[in-house]
Amino acid sequence: MPKVAVPLPYFDFFPEIKAELAAKYPGAKFSTPGVLMQGEKLVEFLKGYDTAVIGLNRFTDEVCKALPELKVVSLCSAGVDHIDPAILNKYGIKMWWVPGINKISVSELAVCYMVLTVRRVPFYSSVLMRGEWKGPMGFGGDLRGRTVGIHGVGHIGKEVIKLLQPYGVKILACDREDFSDFYKQFNNVEKVNAEELWARSDVLTIHLSKNKSTLGMYTKEVQAKFKPGMILVNCARGGMVDEAALAANLASGHISGAAFDVFDIEPANNNPLLKLPNMFASPHIGATTMGSWDAMLRSGMHGIEHAYDPKPGVYPFD
């Protein structure tokens, strides 16, 4: 019988799933809501357990070396950019993860942010909240008729394409994988390379995995290639967009608006981007729906006995 420890506080929000896990694995240890455990605190919590059901906890070389009994880490998270498969293999630790498990929640958020930003809803809302509604305040726009670029057409990107069908937009799809068969299902999707994506998109939404090939991809130089007045949406991962360059481009109007759910450093409470009137931001809420977390927690529970050897160089790893 696996000895299970859960350094992930979200089970407290789903008592039925927590009770189900506790009944199936007697003696399971649960953390309580609070600061995400890392380093020494994570080691202390997991000592004596061979299985960990985790979120964004990091299993560094030091952590794994200090936990010789640990044999399985089962991820509830939707991403794996915090996991190094080479370290897990070094210590004989198996892993479980399901890609795209939160695809509905994130894709809906991305499309929502497109509409909000095009219509300038966050700006208008802030005017009202400050008591400054005195007369005409300019105009927003319609999403209909625009060209929407999707960078990354995996599980989430595909859902975005589906959700955009009623909006009457032209879609540019860019991915290193060939999804031509999927694109053929829709009359408004065109496969393009990155240069075309940047030059032609009125609205650009990022849905790439965070890895060595995408980290820092949206540099100052790349942003200079954007179609003037583009709107940029990022509900994927922080660290892929040069935020200083983004701030400058938002201030100049080269990028007319941006909506980000993720940032280089999180929590992003003091990020200078938050002070810009054409920047809309949220605190990494892409997967924070009851439906997504129900699915992610159940997946983490399933992975306790179905973990596998992670393979460096094989998706989703570099």
Which CATH number describes the domain made up of 4-101+289-305? 3.40.50.720
Q: Give residue 63's pLDDT band: very low, low, confident or very high (50, 70, 90).
A: very high
Q: Tell me which residue of 231, 200, 249 sits closest to 123, measured CA to CA.
A: 231
Mean pLDDT of the chain: 96
Strands 189-191 and 170-174: parallel
Active site (catalytic) residues: 237, 266, 284
How far apart are the C-alpha atoms of 176 and 193, rounded to whole Å? 9
Peptide bond into 15 cis (omega under 30): no
pLDDT per residue as tens digits for the range 65-108: 999 999 999 999 988 999 999 999 999 999 999 999 999 999 99
For 35, phi and psi rounded to 5 degrees?
A: -70, 140
Does the pLDDT value for residue 36 go beyond 90? no
- Output the pLDDT for position 149: 99
| Residues found in the chain | 318
The set of residues, in sequence order, having a beta carbon less than 8 Å from that of 135 and lying 6+ positions away, is none
Q: 242-258: per-residue pLDDT in tens?
A: 999 999 999 999 999 99
Q: How crowded is the C-beta side of 109, counted as CA atoms within 13 Å?
A: 27
pLDDT at 277 over 90: yes
DSSP state, 84? Answer: -
What is the structure's pLDDT at 78? 86
- Looking up tokens 């105009």 gives 139
User: Tell me: the pLDDT tens digits for 100-121?
Assistant: 999 999 999 999 999 999 999 9
316 confidence band (pLDDT: 50, 70, 90): confident
Distance CA 117, CA 112 (A): 9
Q: What's the CATH architecture for 103-281?
A: 3-Layer(aba) Sandwich (3.40)
Task: Name the strand (E) or helix (H) holding 106.
Answer: helix 103-118
Q: Which residue spans of the chain are classified as CATH 3.40.50.720?
A: 4-101+289-305, 103-281
d(CA 237, CA 314): 19
Sign of CA dihedral 206, 269, 220, 80: negative
User: Is it the case that residue 315 has pLDDT exceeding 90?
Assistant: no
